[in-house]
Structure 1
Amino acid sequence: MWWLSRVRGLQFPRQSFELSYIAALVFGAGIGAYIFGTLNLWASGMAGIARSVEGALAGGIIAIELYKWRHGISLRTGARFALPFAVGVAVGRLGCYFAGLEDFTYGTPTALPWGHDFGDGVSRHPVQLYESLAMAAFAAFYVGSVLNRNAAVITNGFYLVLLYYGLQRFIWEFLKPYGGLLGPFSLFHLLSLFVMVYAAVMLATAPRVSLKHERAAA
């Protein structure tokens, strides 16, 4: 996001650069990653400890909202994380794909021609690639919007990427072999709903921004 700021002179809330803010974000994301990743593993009938990107996201959101409430911060501080998050997931899911069965992010069996055998002789949905491509598409959309000075996307980019991420993740979860918590819905289905509801509320209550392409503070 730094290079976009240099190109367009965008300004991000200073609160999101404070060390205490970063510490709260890292702590919340770390706790969320392990708690939700491990709970999903157990719900799927497997022992051990696991981490989850979506768990980290949920933990980070909760930690930062508590931090902002504690310090009386009413500004929206997530704008500078929109592009890094989208790119991070797109790249990170490639790592999950190459990690194979050990990573436990593979898909359910499929007869589709692009199914992939991760080493157990079963052709499976490469859901990691589905998610990587989906998030790369958002990153491209976001960069194009910023370069065109779309104030609405710049200001609300973080919540737009959360809404998009939650929606695409909710869909891909139907193609994963995770245990259900509520009927056909896994823990990550529920986390995806949480992320989408949070993003939708933040977008619905956001200050109105002109949809015209104009220079705006992020």
Structure 2
Amino acid sequence: MEFPINLSVFGTEINTHLVTEIAAFFVGFRFYVFKKKRIQDVFSWEQRMILLIAAALGALIFSRVLGALENVEAWKSSPDFWMYLYSSKTVVGGLLGGWLFVEIAKYFMKLKASSGDVMTFPILLGLFIGRIGCFSQGIEEMTYGNETDWLTGMDLGDGVIRHPLALYELVVLILIGVLLVVLQRKQKLSEGMQFKLMMFLYLLYRFIAEWMKPHFPLALGLTSIQIAILICYLLYLRTILYLIIKPKNTLYAI
């Protein structure tokens, strides 16, 4: 297999990652609309639109800032400070920023109900599609891992056997999705807990995966992504304790 793996349309080469990135947003949003029509939504159409705008704005800002902070030295040495910031992005920053801005919007609108469950599977689907594109670009996309002698190692285009982190993430996303479906069918998840469990498991994987890729510590030997995940875990410590040490028959929303 030779990387990058790009599409060819009528003799013109098209970047696969660009295609999957667009597809991830489009398919994810259409899946969200599909699911929303099948629930009794406690939020009005106007409230949902405000929350979606807040999520998009938070994701845009935090994905760039956290992405740029992944390698501060490269950011400092960049000839164009703002272009480096704009071109840098990370999914973790997008998820955390979107989550934070939604919670802020709900606070000002005095909304108490959970709003994340309907977004859980659309997010997982969007991430899955996007990571296919990341894998297709090999080492040209900053999702490749360190050199490894694991059986799962692959040559991603530079002649070095590396962790194919994008493929690892695809497997993790499938496992999270299956777990959520099983718990949902057994009615083990109360309102709001589906989204929180998805975030907890995905962020846990991303925290571990940071040690398997080129590591640029920001503080205390941790990358910006790892620090952001720890801060998120501290803010939701009570919820996390319920996820880990939960009552026998159910999971309660916090």
Rounded Cα–Cα distance in structure 2 between residues aligned with 1:136 and 1:15:
31
What's 1:172 paired with? 209
Rounded Cα–Cα distance in structure 2 between residues aligned with 1:197 and 1:98:
35
CA contact (8 A) 2:36 2:118 kept: no
- TM alignment of 1:61-140, pairs within 5 A: 61-140=99-178
What's 2:23 paired with? none
Could you report, residue by residue, the CA deviation over 1:74-113 in whole angstroms, capped at 9, with x for unpaired residues? 2221111122222322332222111211211110111223
2:43 aligned to 14, 26, 36, which one? Answer: 14
Of structures 1 and 2, the larger Rg is shown by: 2
What's 1:32 paired with? 62
CA contact (8 A) 1:162 1:195 kept: no
SS in 2 for 1:129: helix
What's 2:13 paired with? none
How high is the TM-score relative to the length of structure 2? 0.71
**Matched residue count:** 209
Identity of aligned residues (%): 25
CA contact (8 A) 1:150 1:211 kept: yes
CA drift at 1:126: 0.9
Could you report, residue by residue, the CA deviation over 1:39-59 in whole angstroms, capped at 9, with x for unpaired residues? 214356774331110010111
CA contact (8 A) 1:44 1:178 kept: no
Structure 1: 5+ residue stretches without partners? 214-218
SS in 1 for 2:218: strand
Rounded Cα–Cα distance in structure 2 between residues aligned with 1:63 and 1:196:
17
The alignment status of 1:51 with 2:89, answered yes or no, reads yes
CA contact (8 A) 1:87 1:139 kept: no
CA contact (8 A) 2:116 2:192 kept: no
SS in 1 for 2:52: helix
2:219 aligned to 172, 182, 187, which one? Answer: 182
What's 1:156 paired with? 193
Distance change in 2, residues 1:38/1:88 (3 Å): same
CA drift at 1:3: 6.3
CA contact (8 A) 1:159 1:199 kept: no
Could you report, residue by residue, the CA deviation over 1:161-181 in whole angstroms, capped at 9, with x for unpaired residues? 111111111111110103111
Distance change in 2, residues 1:12/1:159 (3 Å): farther
- TM alignment of 1:185-204, pairs within 5 A: 185-202=222-239
How high is the TM-score relative to the length of structure 1? 0.81
Distance change in 2, residues 1:106/1:124 (3 Å): same
Rounded Cα–Cα distance in structure 2 between residues aligned with 1:129 and 1:59:
25
Distance change in 2, residues 1:160/1:198 (3 Å): farther
CA contact (8 A) 2:154 2:161 kept: yes
Distance change in 2, residues 1:35/1:155 (3 Å): closer
Rounded Cα–Cα distance in structure 2 between residues aligned with 1:5 and 1:67:
19
What's 2:183 paired with? 145
CA drift at 1:211: 3.5
CA contact (8 A) 1:162 1:196 kept: no
